[in-house]
A = this chain, B = another copy of it.
Amino acid sequence: MTRFHLPAESMPTAWFNALPSLPEPLQPPLHPATREPAGPDDLAPLFPMGLIAQEMSTDVWIDIPGEVIDILRLWRPTPLVRAERLEKELGTPARIYYKDESVSPSGSHKTNTAVAQAFYNQAEGTKRLTTETGAGQWGTALSFACAQFDVECKVYMVRASYEQKPYRRVIMETWGGSVVPSPVDDPSHPGSLGLAITDAVRDAAGRDDTHYSLGSVLNHVLLHQTIIGLEARDQLALAGEERPDVVIASCGGGSNLGGIALPFLDDRDVRLVAVEPSSCPTLTEGRFDYDFGDSVGMTPLLPMYTLGHDFVPPSIHAGGLRYHGDSPIISNLVKAGRMEALALPQGKTFEASVQFARAEGKVPAPETGHAVRAAVDEALAAKETGEEKVILFNFSGHGFLDLSAYDDYLHDRLIDA
With A107-B400, A400-B400 known to touch, is A74 a contact of B170 (CB < 8 Å)? no
Q: Scan residues 71-117 of chain A and give those whose CB is less than 8 A from a CB of chain B.
A: 73-75, 85, 103-105, 107
Q: Determine if B400 and A176 form an interchain contact, defined as CB atoms under 8 angstroms apart.
A: no
With A74-B1, A400-B107, A401-B400 known to touch, is A170 a contact of B361 (CB < 8 Å)? no
A228 to chain B, nearest CB (A): 18
User: In the complex, what residues of B have CB within 8 A of residue A74's CB?
Assistant: 1, 85, 360-361
Chain B CB within 8 A of A261 CB: no
Residue ID in chain B nearest A405 by CB atoms: B170
Q: Determine if B8 and A406 form an interchain contact, defined as CB atoms under 8 angstroms apart.
A: no
SS class of chain A's interface: helix, strand, loop or mixed? helix
A106 to chain B, nearest CB (A): 8
User: In the complex, what residues of B have CB within 8 A of residue A103's CB?
Assistant: 103
With A74-B1, A361-B144, A410-B173 known to touch, is A404 a contact of B105 (CB < 8 Å)? no
A62 to chain B, nearest CB (A): 23
Q: Determine if B361 and A105 form an interchain contact, defined as CB atoms under 8 angstroms apart.
A: yes
With A167-B404, A400-B400 known to touch, is A75 a contact of B410 (CB < 8 Å)? no
User: In the complex, what residues of B have CB within 8 A of residue A5's CB?
Assistant: 5
Q: What is the CA–CA distance of A111 and B49 in the complex, to the nearest angstrom? A: 48
Chain A, 119-154, contact with B by CB distance < 8 Å: what is the 0/1 string? 000000000000000000000000010010000000
Contact of A174 among B8, B176, B406 (CB under 8 A): B406
Contact of A407 among B166, B358, B401 (CB under 8 A): B166
Q: Determine if B362 and A170 form an interchain contact, defined as CB atoms under 8 angstroms apart.
A: no
Q: Determine if A170 and B400 form an interchain contact, defined as CB atoms under 8 angstroms apart.
A: no
Chain B CB within 8 A of A2 CB: yes
User: In the complex, what residues of B have CB within 8 A of residue A75's CB?
Assistant: 361
Contact of A358 among B104, B176, B404, B406 (CB under 8 A): B176
Chain B CB within 8 A of A354 CB: yes
Chain B CB within 8 A of A38 CB: no
A379 to chain B, nearest CB (A): 19
The number of chain A residues touching the other chain, given as a range, is 35 or more
Contact of A403 among B3, B167, B363, B404 (CB under 8 A): B167
Q: Determine if A147 and B404 form an interchain contact, defined as CB atoms under 8 angstroms apart.
A: no
Q: Determine if B105 and A410 form an interchain contact, defined as CB atoms under 8 angstroms apart.
A: no
A115 to chain B, nearest CB (A): 10
A300 to chain B, nearest CB (A): 33
Q: Determine if B400 and A174 form an interchain contact, defined as CB atoms under 8 angstroms apart.
A: no
Contact of A171 among B104, B170, B173, B403 (CB under 8 A): B403
Chain B CB within 8 A of A417 CB: no
Sample of 19 A–B contacts (CB below 8 Å): A1-B70, A2-B8, A3-B8, A74-B85, A74-B361, A105-B357, A105-B361, A147-B358, A166-B403, A167-B400, A169-B407, A171-B363, A171-B403, A174-B363, A174-B406, A174-B410, A175-B358, A176-B358, A400-B401
Chain A interfacial positions (CB closer than 8 Å to B): 1-3, 5, 8, 70, 73-75, 85, 103-105, 107, 144, 147, 166-167, 169-171, 173-176, 354, 357-358, 360-363, 398, 400-401, 403-404, 406-407, 410
List 18 additional A-B contacts (Cβ < 8 Å) besides A169-B407, A170-B403, A171-B403. Answer: A1-B70, A1-B73, A2-B73, A74-B85, A75-B361, A105-B362, A144-B361, A147-B358, A166-B403, A166-B407, A167-B403, A170-B406, A171-B406, A174-B354, A174-B410, A175-B358, A176-B358, A400-B400
